[in-house]
Chains A and B, each alone.
Chain A
Amino acid sequence: MPILEAKDLTYTYSIGSPFEKTAVDHISLQIEQGEFVGIIGHTGSGKSTLMQMLNGLLKPTSGKILLDGNDIWAKKADRRQVRFQVGLVFQYPEYQLFEETVYRDIAFGPKNMGLSESEIDQRVRETAAAVGLREELLEKAPYALSGGQKRRVAIAGVMAMEPRVLILDEPTAGLDPKGREKILDQLARYHKRTGCTILLVSHSMEDVARYASKLLVLNRAKIMCYDTPSKVFAQSDALAQTGLALPQITRVFAALREKGICFSEEVYTVKFGAALLEDALKGGAFKC
Chain B
Amino acid sequence: MEPLIKIENVRFAYPNEDEPEQVTEVLKGISLEFRRGELIAVLGHNGSGKSTLAKLLNAVLLPTEGSVLVDGMSTQKEELLFDIRQRVGMVFQNPDNQIVATIVEEDVAFALENMGVPQPEMRERVDEALKAVHMYEYRHHAPHQLSGGQKQRVAIAGIIAMRPDCIVLDEPTAMLDPHGRSEVLRTIKRLNREYGITVILITHEMDEAAQCRRVVVMDHGSVKMDDTPQNVFAQVAEMKQIGLDVPQVTELVDLLRQKGYDLDPHIISEEDCVAAIYDLFEKRRANGADS
Contact of B274 among A176, A256, A274 (CB under 8 A): A256
The distance in angstroms between the C-alpha atoms of A222 and B177, with both chains bound, is 19
Q: Are A146 and B247 in contact (CB under 8 A)?
A: no
- Please give, as numbers and ranges, the residues of chain A lying within 8 Å of B182 by CB-CB distance: 245
Q: Are B248 and A270 in contact (CB under 8 A)?
A: yes
Q: Are B177 and A278 in contact (CB under 8 A)?
A: no
- Residues A146 and B270 in contact in the complex (CB < 8 Å), given A175-B204, A177-B204, A248-B248: no
Q: Are A174 and B171 in contact (CB under 8 A)?
A: yes
- Residues A173 and B178 in contact in the complex (CB < 8 Å), given A248-B270, A256-B278, A270-B248: no
The distance in angstroms between the C-alpha atoms of A274 and B250, with both chains bound, is 11
Q: Is A244 part of the binding interface, using a Cβ–Cβ cutoff of 8 Å?
A: yes
- Please give, as numbers and ranges, the residues of chain B lying within 8 Å of A144 by CB-CB distance: 17
Q: Is B284 part of the binding interface, using a Cβ–Cβ cutoff of 8 Å?
A: yes
- Please give, as numbers and ranges, the residues of chain B lying within 8 Å of A277 by CB-CB distance: 252, 256, 277
Chain A nearest CB from B86 CB (Å) reads: 30
Q: Which residues of A in the span 233-288 have a Cβ within 8 Å of any Cβ on B?
A: 243-245, 247-249, 251-252, 255-256, 259, 261, 270-271, 273-274, 277-278, 280-281, 283
Chain B nearest CB from A28 CB (Å) reads: 26
Contact of B174 among A146, A174, A247, A271 (CB under 8 A): A174
The residue on B at minimum CB distance from A177 is: B245
- Residues A252 and B179 in contact in the complex (CB < 8 Å), given A177-B204, A281-B284: no
Q: Are A43 and B284 in contact (CB under 8 A)?
A: no
- Please give, as numbers and ranges, the residues of chain B lying within 8 Å of A175 by CB-CB distance: 46, 204
Q: Are A146 and B45 in contact (CB under 8 A)?
A: no
- Residues A177 and B179 in contact in the complex (CB < 8 Å), given A261-B281, A270-B251, A277-B256: no
Q: Which residues of A in the span 100-122 have a Cβ within 8 Å of any Cβ on B?
A: none
Total chain B interface residues with beta-carbon distance under 8 A? 39
The distance in angstroms between the C-alpha atoms of A107 and B93, with both chains bound, is 31
Q: Is A7 part of the binding interface, using a Cβ–Cβ cutoff of 8 Å?
A: no
Contact of A42 among B174, B177, B251, B256 (CB under 8 A): B177
Q: Are A270 and B252 in contact (CB under 8 A)?
A: yes
- Please give, as numbers and ranges, the residues of chain A lying within 8 Å of B175 by CB-CB distance: 173-174
The distance in angstroms between the C-alpha atoms of A175 and B17, with both chains bound, is 24
The residue on A at minimum CB distance from B255 is: A274
- Please give, as numbers and ranges, the residues of chain B lying within 8 Å of A147 by CB-CB distance: 46
The residue on B at minimum CB distance from A182 is: B243
Contact of A249 among B47, B147, B252, B280 (CB under 8 A): B252
Q: Are B247 and A248 in contact (CB under 8 A)?
A: yes
- Please give, as numbers and ranges, the residues of chain A lying within 8 Å of B77 by CB-CB distance: none
The distance in angstroms between the C-alpha atoms of A203 and B175, with both chains bound, is 11
Q: Are A251 and B270 in contact (CB under 8 A)?
A: yes
Q: Is A179 part of the binding interface, using a Cβ–Cβ cutoff of 8 Å?
A: yes
- Please give, as numbers and ranges, the residues of chain B lying within 8 Å of A178 by CB-CB distance: 45-46, 243-244
The distance in angstroms between the C-alpha atoms of A174 and B181, with both chains bound, is 12
Q: Would you give the 0/1 interface string for A187-205, flagging 1 where the beta carbon is closer than 8 Å to chain B?
A: 0000000000000000100
The distance in angstroms between the C-alpha atoms of A245 and B251, with both chains bound, is 19
Q: Is A56 part of the binding interface, using a Cβ–Cβ cutoff of 8 Å?
A: no
Chain A nearest CB from B220 CB (Å) reads: 13
Q: Is A71 part of the binding interface, using a Cβ–Cβ cutoff of 8 Å?
A: no
Q: Are B178 and A244 in contact (CB under 8 A)?
A: yes
- Please give, as numbers and ranges, the residues of chain A lying within 8 Å of B252 by CB-CB distance: 249, 252, 270, 273-274, 277
Q: Are A252 and B274 in contact (CB under 8 A)?
A: yes
Q: Which residues of B in the span 240-269 have a Cβ within 8 Å of any Cβ on A?
A: 243-245, 247-249, 251-252, 255-256, 259, 261
> Which B positions have Cβ atoms within 8 angstroms of A?
17, 45-47, 93, 147-148, 171, 174-175, 177-180, 182, 204, 206-207, 243-245, 247-249, 251-252, 255-256, 259, 261, 270-271, 273-274, 277-278, 280-281, 284
> Which A positions have Cβ atoms within 8 angstroms of B?
42-43, 144, 146-148, 173-179, 203, 206, 243-245, 247-249, 251-252, 255-256, 259, 261, 270-271, 273-274, 277-278, 280-281, 283
- The 10 closest A-B CB pairs, nearest first, are A245-B178, A178-B243, A274-B255, A248-B248, A177-B245, A255-B274, A174-B174, A43-B177, A176-B45, A249-B248
Interface contacts beyond A175-B204, A252-B249: sample of 20 additional A-B pairs, CB < 8 Å, sorted by A: A43-B148, A144-B17, A146-B46, A146-B47, A148-B46, A174-B171, A176-B244, A177-B204, A177-B245, A249-B248, A252-B277, A255-B270, A261-B281, A270-B251, A270-B255, A274-B252, A274-B255, A278-B259, A280-B281, A281-B284
